[in-house]
Amino acid sequence: MNRREFLQATAATVALSSMGAYAAEFADQRKRVGLIGTGWYGKADLFRLIQVAPVEVVSLCDVDKRMLGEAVDMVATRQASKKRPRAYGDYREMLKEKDLDIVLIATPDHWHALPMIEAVKAGADIYVQKPIGVDIVECQAMLAAARKYGRVVQVGTQRRSTPHLIEARDRFIREGKLGRIAHVEICCYYHMRASENPPDTAPPEWLDYEFWTGPAPMRPYNKLVHPRSWRAFMEYGNGIVGDMCIHMLDMVRWMMDLGWPTSVSSTGGILVDKASKANISDTQTAAFDFGNVKIVWTHRTWGDSPDPKYPWAATFHGDKGTLKASVNGYDFIPQGGGSSVHKDVTYELEEFPEDKTEKDLERHVAPAIRGHMKDLLRMIATRGRPVADIEQGYISSASSILANLSMQLGRSLAWDPARGEVIGDPAANALLRRPYRAPWVHPEPATV
């Protein structure tokens, strides 16, 4: 071995070792990766993938030139090759290359479906953020596309890969220590709804606002919309239910091995914060009926949480005990005495020191994202179904969307999973597909 070969080999070894203890498992998975949506969670997802496997990030796409440029610089410092990925403002141009093994999608919700469907057509496996679609027909089309083109699709409902929640499921629910569970309360009391009312302005020159809006209704640009506060508007998502309920509902479904609810009902609205420009509910409850198990969601973006330790959580009520579970830990309380059990979230800061300094990273969630990425990579290798497979994402996304439709219509909605529609309710079924703004065309499950 000459000096140059020695230096190259040494550099490769150092790069591989810097990825942590999990790199060896995926050492042969040198996948080419693209990211659509380079904002907060797009980078969080991408950098966790870089930590667990020797992938090569070759393409980034965003309609915000400033955000895109920052992401290009960051990726060049974080990936082992130190190469700068190609930058695109249009996901269609990126996917036209057909040179990507994995595509991550972390756009606002109204931009999940079209890029995901085009990416599977281009031969890529997918990691897509939740909820998978902004309406139910989008979700159905995404599932149909994944199956038609034989792609592995992992949804960003990473509670299914959260170490302490896996432990809680196995130790208390699967072992029967809660007894019969008939009622689960899920909730979010974070004050996360935008409360400002800034004036509309012209969009900044670095943002292609026309493309950012895409198939959604065109609103005047407002600084609340981009970046990150777009969830304050129903035009781009499904409010707190579509953002936070889906996580907890999906977690409970996974922990208890539940499928579809037979019916969904919801009430609420903007009851307190009427001055804000935001048009999502500030108060809402939803009931998901799974037969012998009832799951009830509550959110308030005002007031105090009933349990300050569990402001965003699930509480499983069994006839032998209670389990409280959140992203930060769990508590098991047996009925009639006995020893309670508490567990805090698992951090991996020493194994992955980048977590200590990465801007805006939710450090307590990083291990779950890494676990989710590892599961995706394993399923890509075996062509199996990941833990948060697109079908599970469809069920949890559609169930959450049904809650909003129930609140809008003022009645309970019974769901037929086989037909993919609300039973005996033409008005509700007319709302399963949102109108698309031209020239964008709504995807259909039969034509993907």
Question: What are the Cα distances from residue 22, in Å, to 35, 142, 175, 206, 376?
Answer: 22, 31, 29, 38, 14
Q: How confident is the model at residue 365, as a pLDDT?
A: 98
- Please, are residues 320 and 291 in contact by the beta-carbon 8 Å criterion? no
Cα–Cα distance between 72 and 64 in angstroms, integer? 12
* pLDDT per 10-residue tile (average), the chain, 448 residues: 42 41 72 97 98 97 98 97 97 97 98 98 98 98 98 98 98 98 98 92 97 98 92 97 98 98 98 95 98 98 97 98 98 93 97 95 98 98 98 98 98 98 98 98 97
Which residue bears the tokens 């980048």? Answer: 354
What pLDDT, on the 0 to 100 scale, is given for residue 24?
75
The token pair at 263 is 């019916």
Q: Determine the pLDDT at residue 319.
A: 97
Output the pLDDT for position 302. Answer: 97
- What's the pLDDT at 196? 87
Contacts of 155 (CB under 8 A, 6+ apart): 128, 129, 130, 132, 388, 389, 390, 392, 393
Report the pLDDT value the prediction gives residue 29, as an integer from 0 to 100. Answer: 77
Residue with token string 């629910």 = 173
**pLDDT number for residue 228:** 86
What is the per-residue pLDDT for 2?
Answer: 46
pLDDT value, residue 23: 58
Structural domains in the chain, CATH included, are 10-159 (3.40.50.720), 162-352+390-429 (3.30.360.10)
**What is the model's pLDDT at position 304?**
97
